[in-house]
């Protein structure tokens, strides 16, 4: 169009060039303004979410106070008791959810190891989440050293309980930093290494070119599932907790390494109370008490020998995992519970 006007003599060449230049100067800010509008909308949406989160009141808090300074702080010996605990996650979209736990009773004496097994969705994680008050019970109570968990100072309670969650989370930090996460900053490296040794992590960490200085997590080197689990276990052990909870913590670790970890735990954690959730019978068979969960209830309990003698679910699972069940072919990796 511009060219045509120049040929017809209605526009000078200089005029066209000037016009084009000005056009460019004009379109850039217009485009930027468009982008800016987009950004502003995104910021507004994010700000609303952050605001919602900041204004959220925690459902679980230390007794009668927001300062975090309230509640019982005495050192914990490690007795854990469930008194007729029923728990529902609440409601979703208006309808009330079925209880995930019903009528749970349990006494774990200090120093005991409690094994928990059961099919997926049977309530194992829900049960142990209540001990550290990730949720509060709907009915019934949980007592630690005969005191309701709701009467403890929340931070103090959680500091005394080491928990390795089912979904391991590693920070984008060095391995040392990840293990030392819950301990005072002046903790010597030896203590960190000791925890790693107990968790059977020291060996593979030393084989990495940067050892304990290796950056892991989202921005670091990839670790296998079993390696991540062992770092997380070392983190929990470094806190030297009186109660240790392992939610499926050795599921991705081979049986041999698992045995190594169990022996180390046995040696160093003698007077600690330990909860072990597992799918493999081999992980729980030496426990003082084993609970078999099904649909939110404890359906069998006892030691390995007692449970084998009563010929119920536990024995079935044992035989399946050992590849001895008459109707189940010995499966490869037949160490997993359920089909
Ligand atoms: N955050 C949640 N909100 C609502 N329901 C939940 C929530 N977490 C678990 N549930 C429900 O509670 C029940 C028990 O779940 P839980 O996670 O305790 O099982 P699990 O025994 O740990 O299973 P897995 O072996 O797969 O880890 C399930 O029916 C599950 O759907
Ligand atoms: Mg679970």
Q: pLDDT tens-digit profile of 135-173? A: 999 899 999 999 999 888 888 888 899 999 988 888 888
pLDDT at 66: 46
Question: Which atom from ligand 1 is nearest to the alpha carbon of 124?
Answer: 21
At 68, is the pLDDT very low, low, confident or very high (cuts 50, 70, 90)?
A: low
Spell out which residues line ligand 1, taking CB within 6 angstroms: 89, 97, 100, 118, 120-126, 166
The number of the ligand nearest the C-alpha atom of 116 reads: 1
What's the mean pLDDT in 122-135?
92
Q: Whose CA is nearest to atom 27 of ligand 1?
A: 120
Q: Whose CA is nearest to atom 28 of ligand 1?
A: 121
Q: How far apart are CA 158 and CA 132, in angstroms?
A: 6
337 pLDDT more than 70: no
- pLDDT digit string (tens) for 9-23? 888 888 888 988 888
């Amino acid at each position: 169009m511009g060219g045509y006007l120049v040929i017809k003599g209605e526009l000078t060449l200089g005029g066209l060039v000037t016009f084009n230049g000005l056009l460019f100067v004009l379109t850039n800010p217009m485009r930027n303004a468009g982008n800016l509008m987009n950004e502003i909308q995104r910021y507004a949406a994010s700000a609303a979410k952050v605001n919602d989160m900041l204004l959220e009141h925690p459902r679980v808090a230390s007794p009668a106070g927001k300062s975090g300074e309230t509640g019982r702080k005495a050192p914990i010996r490690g007795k854990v008791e469930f008194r007729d605990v029923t728990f529902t996650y609440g409601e979703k979209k208006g309808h009330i959810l079925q209880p995930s736990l019903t009528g749970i009773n349990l006494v774990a004496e200090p120093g005991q190891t409690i094994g928990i097994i059961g099919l997926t969705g049977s309530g194992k994680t829900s049960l142990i989440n209540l001990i550290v008050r990730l949720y509060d019970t709907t009915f019934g109570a949980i007592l630690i050293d005969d005191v309701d968990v709701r009467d403890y100072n929340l931070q103090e309670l959680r500091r005394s309980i080491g928990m390795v969650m089912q979904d391991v989370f590693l920070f984008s930090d060095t391995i040392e930093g990840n293990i030392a996460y819950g301990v005072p900053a002046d903790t010597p490296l030896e203590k960190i290494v000791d925890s790693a040794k107990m968790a059977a992590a020291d060996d593979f960490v030393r084989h990495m070119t940067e050892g304990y200085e290796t950056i892991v997590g989202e921005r670091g080197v990839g670790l296998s599932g079993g390696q991540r689990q062992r770092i997380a276990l070392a983190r929990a052990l470094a806190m030297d907790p009186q109660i240790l909870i392992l939610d499926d913590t050795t599921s991705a670790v081979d049986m041999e390494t698992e045995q190594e970890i169990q022996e180390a735990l046995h040696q160093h954690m003698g007077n600690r109370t330990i909860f072990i959730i597992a799918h493999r019978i081999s992980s729980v068979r030496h426990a003082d008490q084993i609970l078999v969960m099904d649909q939110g209830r404890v359906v069998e309990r006892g030691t390995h020998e007692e449970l084998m003698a009563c010929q119920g679910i536990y024995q079935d699972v044992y035989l399946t995992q050992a590849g001895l069940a008459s109707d189940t072919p010995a499966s490869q990796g037949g160490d997993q519970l359920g089909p």
